[in-house]
Chain A
Amino acid sequence: MADMKAKKKGQENSRWQRFIHADGVSVFFAMIVVAILFEIILQVMRGGGGGLIFLTPANLASILRQQLYVGIIAFGMTLVMITGEIDLSVGYQLTMLCSICALFMIKTNNAFVGIVGTIGIGILCGFVNGWLVSYLRLNSFITTLGMSSVYSALALMVSAGTVLVIPNDCSPAFQWFGTAKFGPISILIVWFIIVAVVLGFILSRTVYGQQMYIIGSNPIAAKFSGIHYKRNKLIAYMIVGACCGLAAVVMMANVKSSNPQSSSGTEMEVILCVVLGGCAVTGGKGSVWGTIIGVLFYGVLNTGFTMMNLTEYMRWIIMGLIMVLVLSMDVLQERGVKLWKKKA
């Protein structure tokens, strides 16, 4: 009887619960709460009275704008993390690809070479990472950490350790690729949306996407179900590489200079976005929709802390702690699930 009651109750709540439990929804609400908190804190800090500070359209738009590069890479990373792996090399991949892109443009001033070449090399980086992780079955954490060092060194090598500057009169097609505007909408946002839609579609609607979740949840079951799990993982890494390439091209078209020594910490930003969006580090869980929320949430936090006049170091301490917190919540939830299961 008790069982029946519980079930009935479960059904009544199911639609609402499903909505709340859907990827990203709870994070979305958390983000709104945090944004409002920032508004309140900033009002208090600045004495109030002067209208909205944080929740202004201009500020929100700038949050989005800052996050676009990270966001594009985060979408690719979502795929990798759903399979239960990780790519720590995206930061230096981006640094290297920026240098390469700048070099291409300086040497050839050919938009095709600059764009396709850079993205192609990005895919190649992903191939190397993915091959090492899936076919040689190396630990992805260690492998991509090691490859980080390789990419960092390559960045310095191709640029001879200097800042490469793309001339302002470079190929218009190349500039268009990163700076065009469609009315008020920057092409950056268009790229962000295109990558999100394409990868979101792949994950939720294709055979490949559905297989990724199984691989992440139980790689052995995937193998016993005839899924080419190695190939699938390799493709995920190549997609991340392509995303890094795209981000590099777009970034170069905008800023036109690459600093091979900017050890940006991009990989931490990317991973934090993905994790905030509800992706489980243990694999099998996550979605592009969740990652979009994660990216925005990260932007809100970052901007909020900056506006509170926290130093970059302070910000990183807080972001690091948030990451640990989010990850431990995941683990705790997992333990909860286990207790539930054992009782059944």
Chain B
Amino acid sequence: MSRGDIFIELDDIVKVFPGVRALDGVSIKIAEGKVHALCGENGAGKSTLIKVMTGVHARDGGDYRIDGKTVNFKSTKEAIDAGVSCVYQELSIAPQLDVAKNLFIGNLPMKGHIIDHKTLYEKSEEILKFLEMDISPHMIAGDLSVGQQQMIEIGRALTRNARLIIMDEPTSSLSEAETDTLFKVIKTLVEDRNMAIIYISHKLDEVMELADWITVIRDGKNIISKAKTDFTQAELVKNMIGRPLENLYMKEPAEITDTMLEVNHLTRDGVFDDISFKVRKGEVVGFFGLVGAGRSEIMRAIFGVDKYNSGEVILDGKKLKGGDPAKAIENGIGFCTEDRKKEGLALKISILSNMTLVKLKALSHGGVVDRVAQRRAADKYMKSISIKAPSVNQLVGNLSGGNQQKVVVAKWLLMDPKVLIVDEPTRGIDVGSKSEIYSILSDLAKQGMAIIVVSSEVEEIMGVCDKVITIAEGKKTGEMAITPELTREHILSCALGTETDFSAETDGEKKEEVKENG
């Protein structure tokens, strides 16, 4: 077979779950040596489609052919044997095993009944070299970074002679550098090895860069499927959400007044060093840096979940005692954490309880919750930030990613914070919800809240913030006002630590100077 030949065909695939038709006649054709992007909002049916392809779910209708023959996979093993491998969002690395064994897991080279270690490590070296990974196959997989682990998963697909590798949100936890490497590897796989890739991502610029062919699905149906060259990004978005999206970032100017949060020389040994900055009322300050640069750790220290060694945090003129999130909340700091499922939400519990969690004391008299007030408070935010759920009694675990994120945001808005820290507010959520989150942030700033946005997407920082602070290896390397002149590249090089730029370090005089000049 040669590049461009179609070898996998799915026709009119139907998958029904109790009460929902998750897939309602999706058709897609996969060609060798091409990257096929699959786009759609959360809940559109992408994951279900993949599970049908990889043998996790049996289809309820339609036809699935590989090389013209109908297949009915009963397990993921059968799919893998047929050449269909998947790199899932949740990595399936065995952290205690070494790299080589992870690569060949379930498929170890054998000599009779014992593992052929020589072949194992030789072959692993080859694969690592192909993936341009400068690590030893003897390394313990648990010690690798998330990006490296992801590469191991891709390597694993290679050891299984995959013809199609499905990648579900592969870059959601990768740094920019790791993403670049991943792209390079994908291109080699496609061009040199004639492999097919199905690439799923919410990051549309990635899709536009990588894909040869794009299929958009919505509500379990095919919406459109055509060559990338025939698509514009705007068209893509329009098809995904079913309506045109005017402007993703809707930052409206807010009046910036007094300093609300002041952080001076905050240091945690070995994690971050001498971090100082100010956030004023109505100001949105972005924190940008590579994954692992220490951005989230700084926020955790300010909020009090982690301790710090020296420095001080002053909120509204009052010095905070570190190391106690309950005190931080009491004083008016809200913290939407990076990983909503792990740190933000109790999935088995209702929206109502999750939302009112930090406000519970204020909604109670002598320790007894005023249920009417609780219900009223939750209902208000269900409406005002349009969380899509039948009622506040719905379990949070049953909501889509975007709606879950809105519940987290609502939880912190309910306490009416003076400073709101949001860490990766739009990770893994669809474009529609993204734009809603941005407009919420913009509204809050207008109401005079001081906001910190931590993000690893430069566009997001540039779109929603007034100012960006870059962090590289635990040190502050820049503080710049977001102006039309500020370039993406400049922010990136500060975040890499190759440049520094403190042009917007806040103090009153400088700002006035600028005003006079302007």
Contacts and interface: CB of A to CB of B under 8 A. Distances in A.
Interface of A: 2-3, 6-7, 9-11, 14, 18, 205-208, 210-211, 213-214, 217-218, 220-228, 280, 284-285, 337, 339-344
Interface of B: 17, 19-22, 24, 42-43, 47-48, 51, 219-220, 303, 305, 325-330, 335, 337, 342-349, 353-354, 357-358, 360-361, 364, 367-369, 371, 390, 393, 397-400, 411
Given A206-B364, A340-B398, A344-B400, A225 B411 contact: yes
A221 B349 CA distance: 12
Indicate the member of B20, B330, B393, B411 with the most A CB atoms within 10 Å: B20
B409 to A, nearest CB: 13
Nearest to B401: A344
A205 to B, nearest CB: 5
Nearest to A336: B18
A210 B353 CA distance: 7
A284 B368 CA distance: 20
B364 A207 contact: yes
B357 A341 contact: no
Contacts of B327: 226
A218 B173 CA distance: 22
A332 to B, nearest CB: 15
Given A206-B364, A217-B347, A284-B346, A224 B337 contact: yes
29 contacts: A3-B21, A9-B19, A11-B390, A14-B390, A205-B368, A206-B368, A207-B360, A207-B367, A210-B353, A210-B357, A213-B353, A217-B347, A218-B342, A218-B345, A218-B347, A220-B342, A220-B343, A224-B303, A224-B337, A225-B411, A226-B325, A227-B357, A284-B349, A337-B397, A342-B51, A343-B20, A343-B22, A343-B47, A344-B43
Given A9-B19, A344-B43, A224 B343 contact: yes
B345 A341 contact: no
A343 B220 CA distance: 10
Contacts of A227: 326, 357
Contact of B348 (A206, A226, A285): A285
Contact of B344 (A18, A224, A343): A224
Given A3-B21, A226-B325, 4 more contacts: A218-B347, A226-B330, A280-B348, A343-B20
Contacts of B369: 205-207, 210
Please name the 5 residue pairs, one residue from A and one from B, whose CB atoms are nearest each other, closest first: A217-B346, A226-B326, A2-B21, A6-B19, A226-B329
A206 B368 CA distance: 4
Nearest to A217: B346
Nearest to B366: A206
B361 A207 contact: yes
B397 A341 contact: yes
A344 B400 CA distance: 6
A210 B344 CA distance: 16
A10 B394 CA distance: 12
B220 to A, nearest CB: 7
B329 to A, nearest CB: 4
Contacts of A211: 357, 360
Contacts of A7: 390
B357 A225 contact: yes
A214 B19 CA distance: 28
Nearest to B340: A221
Contacts of A228: 326
Q: Which of B303, B364, B399, B400 has the most CB of A within 10 A?
A: B364
A7 B220 CA distance: 16
Contacts, number: 109
Contacts of A342: 47-48, 51
Nearest to A220: B343
A221 B346 contact: yes
Contacts of B19: 6, 9-10
B328 A226 contact: yes
B396 to A, nearest CB: 9
Given A207-B364, A340-B17, A224 B346 contact: no
B513 to A, nearest CB: 40
Contacts of A10: 19, 390
Contacts of B358: 225-226
- Pick the most buried of A7, A223, A344: most chain B CB atoms within 10 A of its CB: A344
A3 B20 contact: yes
A211 B354 CA distance: 10
Contacts of A223: 305, 325
Contacts of A11: 390
Nearest to B42: A344
A219 to B, nearest CB: 9
B346 A213 contact: yes
Nearest to A219: B346
A7 B21 CA distance: 12
B390 A214 contact: no
A2 B400 CA distance: 17
* Residue among A217, A284, A340 with most chain B CB within 10 A: A217
B345 A221 contact: yes
Nearest to A18: B393
B502 to A, nearest CB: 31
A3 B360 contact: no
B357 A214 contact: yes
Contacts of B43: 344
A144 to B, nearest CB: 24
A202 B330 CA distance: 23
Contacts of A206: 364, 367-369
B184 to A, nearest CB: 30
Contacts of A218: 342, 345-347
Contacts of A280: 348
Contacts of A18: 393
A337 B353 CA distance: 19
B320 to A, nearest CB: 13
B271 to A, nearest CB: 18
Given A10-B390, A224-B305, A213 B349 contact: yes
Contacts of A205: 368-369, 371
Contacts of B220: 2
A17 B407 CA distance: 24
A187 to B, nearest CB: 27
A14 B343 CA distance: 30
B369 to A, nearest CB: 6
A243 B393 CA distance: 31
Nearest to B47: A342
A204 B329 CA distance: 24
A7 B344 CA distance: 27
A339 B398 CA distance: 10
A51 to B, nearest CB: 45
A340 B181 CA distance: 34
A326 B400 CA distance: 30
B422 to A, nearest CB: 13
Which of A213, A220, A225, A341 counts the most B-chain CB atoms under 10 A from its CB? Answer: A225
B20 A341 contact: no
Contacts of A210: 353, 357, 360, 369
